[in-house]
Amino acid sequence: IVKLLSSSQGKKLLLVTAPAGFGKTTLVNEFTSSLGKTTAWVHVTPDIKNVFNLLTYITSSLNRINEQFGDVIFETIQLIENDTEKINDIDSALSELAGLMINELLMKFSEEILIVIDDLHELHNEKNVDHFIDLLINDLPDNIQIVIISRELPNLNLSHLRAKRLLGEVTQKEL
């Protein structure tokens, strides 16, 4: 299975989905350790309730790798969260945040980085999370790969990624 995961290198998204108890997190942890790549790991917990919380955690995880990463993203999230009533178009706000994240990734990281989002299914009712991840993946720099671990398929544009061969998948069948 680690060989299957390794064959997904160079893809923008690696998706590991299976019910509880199949060892998804352990498998991805072994995989990331075997690669020796720098990894930003976010475990979705009940205190992450929306896309802005998730983005804050992702940014914090990347900031631990490079302390110069994320200041503008943190400021923008804080402005949005402090005045959500002024947001007329959430899609525009998410698009701006995805652009900020992509620009920061380009400017602050030249090495290969894995961004692991573990237990994404915990945010299954938050459609803005899926939309943000789609926006991020569309323009993700070549040195960055997102790994999603979930009990269910996220509502992402997976058919587009499959068609462009930018998606690696490990499911219950392979586990």
Residues 6+ away with beta carbon under 8 Å from 30: 2
Burial class (CB in 10 A: 0-12, 13-18, 19+), 27: buried
Cα radius of gyration (the chain): 16
Packed helices 90-108 and 71-82: angle between N→C axes, nearest 10 degrees: 160
pLDDT at residue 126, rounded to an integer: 86
The CA–CA distances, whole Å, from 63 to 13, 73, 96, 131, 166 equal 21, 11, 19, 23, 26
pLDDT at residue 69, rounded to an integer: 97
pTM for this entry? 0.93
Question: Quick count: other Cβ atoms within 10 Å of Cβ 108?
Answer: 16
Strands 113-118 and 144-150: parallel
| pLDDT less than 70: residues of the chain | 1-3, 84-87
